[in-house]
Structure 1
């Protein structure tokens, strides 16, 4: 089916589409042998190609997905599947409160503790708490406190990224990506519990990265920093195609921040939030959109020229969310046009 922009703004169709995506995973993703979910389903025919590997982030995202299905008044299995995931996530938790990066079956395969992973744990619990999944809300507070204790660097207002199984530093690197997801998770924690402290933590991360460190650089949000949270312009300069830490600006992350800043603006009256969201959005589409073939390049350099021109699935998704948020908060129709453009490109290139 070719794209139809009218459908993409229809709330009933969007709900149906979201539940259809969940149905692709359910019930095959439920793992009754090792617990939790099997995330490794082929995107061509849905067959399970690895029934043992369990990645913390993939598990948390499925908890989030099924909890959203429950919030959308989806089928009863959305609730039971979300509860199934929360139960296993509680079993994943170690005695010291941390969550290993990867498990194989029921055994730990990679014991490292990451801020990125724990941010997704918090997001999963918070979203499940919004859906009134039993046991989720107490886990929100527990996980929020753990992140503050183990990852947050109070003198910088930001979080370090990777630690060993004994909570010792594992690298001399700081990055915005894990902090962006931590900001997202604390917003969700605030929405789930009403705890103002969680909103304050989210705002502090946004202010430090999207305002102060952005202004200290080129006016856009750089990805890589030193352990003192100084901009590291050289990190991976010789490896610009690195999958997870490429050199350059990432349009997808600029759009993701635009979405988060608009969400924060619902709860905080700082003028810079929406202004900076619009600035990030404009930079992402101006420098990242491929006018000839459509889609967003993966990275661009400090002069706005493309570096990695490969197209990934997730940046247009962030673009949809950012465009819808900005259109709603500003009332400007240009954002709805971008919303349609992101959807049309994603639909026509993936179906």
Structure 2
């Protein structure tokens, strides 16, 4: 039983429920929440990675559970989902985010102490910008300061030749892996779109530039509707296939651009 997978099942159920408020789908949502509460909650906060319980703890499943709770609220307007999203926001502020270094940490011990050396994924930094905007939308809780910090830090980890985000850095701003996957580029576009939605000066232009970069380097593929998934530092494609896992990121970025930028 994997917490990350359960987050996406919950997200999917919320999306389906939003279509026609089917009572059976709502029952599935409630059953999944009962499982999370009864079997995956950690006494230290957040959820376990899965069953059987294992380490390290990761911010990633918590990020997607945060996303799922926002989606559940938007689908149901049930205030309990605001509260659940608030729990993950509190976890972000208390444990996942280093306010001094302005970085999102990826891996932790059971008690949320950081595992050294600290890994920074700029794509996740950008993804949280978009999610914090979603949380602000459903709660009214201001998130502008943290969004600005996260985005500024993400932009420190870029490939000089293309301007694309690289896959991994350290907590001092150095690049650890100079490869660059597709999904971080969609997330930095979404981050700028979120900032544009908030009225940040110049954010809409930055969002459009990020989308052009995404199209030029990743979506201009011989297979129509396909994409290149990862490049090395010299611009050589490292993945011969078109991984379906990236489709979620592409679709979200295009949908957000259509809704906010027009």
TM-score, normalised via structure 2 length:
0.77
Partner of 1:300: 169
Partner of 1:156: 44
Q: Which structure would you say has the larger Rg?
A: 1
How far apart, CA to CA, are the structure 1 residues paired with 2:99 and 2:137? 26
Are 1:123 and 2:18 counterparts? no
Is the contact between residue 316 and residue 342 of structure 1 (CA under 8 Å) also seen in structure 2?
yes
Tell me by how many angstroms 1:218 deviates.
2.8
Are 1:340 and 2:204 counterparts? no
- 1:52-97 CA distances to partner (integer Å, 9 max, x unpaired)? xxxxxxxxxxxxxxxxxxxxxxxxxxxxxxxxxxxxxxxxxxxxxx
Superposition pairs for residues 4-15 of structure 1, below 5 Å?
none
Tell me by how many angstroms 1:333 deviates.
3.0
**Aligned-residue CA RMSD (Å):** 1.8
Tell me by how many angstroms 1:304 deviates.
0.6
Count of residue correspondences: 218
Q: Secondary structure at the match of 1:323?
A: helix
Partner of 1:190: 73
Q: Secondary structure at the match of 1:307?
A: strand
Tell me by how many angstroms 1:305 deviates.
1.4
- 1:101-126 CA distances to partner (integer Å, 9 max, x unpaired)? xxxxxxxxxxxx11001011100100
- 1:223-267 CA distances to partner (integer Å, 9 max, x unpaired)? 011011111124xxxxxxxxxxxx621111001111110110012
Moved over 6 A (4+): none
How far apart, CA to CA, are the structure 1 residues paired with 2:48 and 2:100? 20
Are 1:173 and 2:56 counterparts? yes
Tell me by how many angstroms 1:307 deviates.
1.3
Is the contact between residue 254 and residue 280 of structure 1 (CA under 8 Å) also seen in structure 2?
yes
How far apart, CA to CA, are the structure 2 residues paired with 1:142 and 1:274? 34
How far apart, CA to CA, are the structure 2 residues paired with 1:211 and 1:259? 19
Q: Secondary structure at the match of 1:333?
A: coil
Partner of 1:204: 87
Partner of 2:31: 142
Superposition pairs for residues 20-169 of structure 1, below 5 Å?
113-132=1-20, 134=22, 135-153=24-42, 155-164=43-52, 169=53
How far apart, CA to CA, are the structure 2 residues paired with 1:261 and 1:255? 10
Query: Greater relative contact order (Cα 8 A, min sep 6): structure 1 or 2?
Result: 2
How far apart, CA to CA, are the structure 2 residues paired with 1:172 and 1:280? 26
Are 1:229 and 2:112 counterparts? yes
Are 1:325 and 2:194 counterparts? yes
User: Please, which moves more after superposition, 254-263 or 185-194?
Assistant: 185-194
How far apart, CA to CA, are the structure 2 residues paired with 1:281 and 1:219? 10
Are 1:259 and 2:130 counterparts? yes
